[in-house]
Amino acid sequence: MAETVLTNPGKTPAQTAGWKGIAADWSSDQRAFKNVSWGKAMMWIFLLSDTFIFSCFLLSYMTARMSTTVPWPNPSEVFALTIGGHHIPLILIAIMTFVLISSSGTMAMAVNFGYRRDRVKTAVLMLVTAALGATFVGMQAFEWTKLITEGVRPWENPWGAPQFGASFFMITGFHGTHVTFGVIFLIAIARKVWRGDFDVARRGFFTSRKGHYEIVEIMGLYWHFVDLVWVFIFAFFYLW
């Protein structure tokens, strides 16, 4: 924010239209993205790279699922829970998805209060986000435990193609790791916000750079990305 604002923008001449204008704007002085700070640009590019990782994971899983000669276990059955005598398909996954999407909401609110430099509300909302994220990981751990007790292993399962367990543990594990890292960083940044590091420009322990409230927004980018990835995993792994 403070560091991203351009001072002295000077006169704005009539800009070239069309593709030429886009190219000229992009390649113009100093910055390709005018009001984007270094940190935010870096997070966006990292997320682009990470998108490729998740895409490769999902495409590999889809290849395995489409080419297997053994029937693929039915996700609606596998991920069903019996609650109060009712057999409800995908109920846990639905709750998990709801929790994670809600955490995106609280994260967005945290970013909003970060903009207003509202120290307490930002920190609290980030902690709520972290708690929702931790809940998600906890439910995932429950799901893993349930499947493992039912005999699902990376190399076999009682219902069909062995790639089911392999893909499941790999993809949800990789995504869960992302959520876990997110929770850790959320707590770390919430602590800094709470302590007022960004109000007094306290220096970071590792980088010895002054922090900014913008880090809340950058954290938000990561968190929303992890949510978005989950939507794709949900669609391609559970609903297919």
Partner 1 sequence: MVDVPYDRIADVPPAEVPEVELYHPKSWWTQYVFSQDAKVIAIQYSLTATAIGLVALVLSWLMRLQLGFPGTFSFIDANQYLQFITMHGMIMVIYLLTALFLGGFGNYLIPLMVGARDMVFPYVNMLSYWVYLLAVLVLASTFFVPGGPTGAGWTLYPPQAILSGTPGQDWGIILMLTSLILFIIGFTMGGLNYVVTVLQARTRGMTLMRMPLTVWGIFTATVMALLAFPALFVASVMMLFDRLLGTSFFMPALVEMGQQLKYGGGSPILFQHLFWFFGHPEVYIVALPAFGIVSDLISTHARKNIFGYRMMVWAIVAIGALSFIVWAHHMYVSGMHPTFGFFFATTTLIIAIPTAIKVYNWVLTLWRGDIHLTVPMLFALGFIITFVNGGLTGLFLGNVVVDVPLSDTMFVVAHFHMVMGVAPIMVVLGAIYHWYPKVTGRMLDDWMGKFHFWVTFLGAYLIFFPMHYLGLQGVPRRYHDLGEAAFITPSVHTLNAFITVVALIVGFAQMVFLFNLVWSYFKGRPSGGNPWRATTLEWQTPETPPGHGNWGKELPVVYRWAYDYSVPGAKEDFIPQNQPPATRAVQGAAT
| Footprint of partner 1 (CB under 8 A) | 3, 6-13, 15-16, 21, 24-34, 36-39, 41-42, 45-46, 48-50, 52-53, 55-57, 60, 63-64, 67-70, 154-155, 161-163, 165-166, 170, 174, 206-210
The count of residues in the chain is 240
- What is the closest distance, in whole angstroms, from the C-beta atom of residue 157 to partner 1 in the complex? 11
- Closest CB to partner 1 among residues 15, 76: 15
- Closest CB to partner 1 among residues 10, 85: 10
Say how far residue 240 (Cα) sits from the centre of its chain. Answer: 22
Query: What is the rounded radius of gyration, in angstroms, for the C-alpha atoms of the chain?
Result: 22
- Closest CB to partner 1 among residues 5, 85: 5
Q: How many CB atoms lie within 10 A of CB 40?
A: 18
- Closest CB to partner 1 among residues 105, 162: 162
Angle in degrees, CA 97, 104, 38, rounded to 5: 135
- Closest CB to partner 1 among residues 87, 209: 209
Give the HSE-up count for residue 129: Cα atoms under 13 Å, Cβ half-sphere.
Answer: 35
- Closest CB to partner 1 among residues 134, 166: 166
Angle in degrees, CA 102, 56, 143, rounded to 5: 45
Taking Cα atoms as reference points, which of 146, 147, 145, 166 lies closest to residue 155? 166
Q: From residue 5, how far is each of 31, 42, 109 by CA, in Å?
A: 12, 17, 22
- What is the closest distance, in whole angstroms, from the C-beta atom of residue 120 to partner 1 in the complex? 28
- What is the closest distance, in whole angstroms, from the C-beta atom of residue 205 to partner 1 in the complex? 10
- What is the closest distance, in whole angstroms, from the C-beta atom of residue 206 to partner 1 in the complex? 6
**Alpha-carbon gap, residue 143 to 75, rounded angstroms:** 13
Q: How many CB atoms lie within 10 A of CB 12?
A: 6
- What is the closest distance, in whole angstroms, from the C-beta atom of residue 160 to partner 1 in the complex? 10
- Closest CB to partner 1 among residues 8, 82: 8
- What is the closest distance, in whole angstroms, from the C-beta atom of residue 132 to partner 1 in the complex? 27
- What is the closest distance, in whole angstroms, from the C-beta atom of residue 236 to partner 1 in the complex? 15
**Alpha-carbon gap, residue 91 to 76, rounded angstroms:** 9
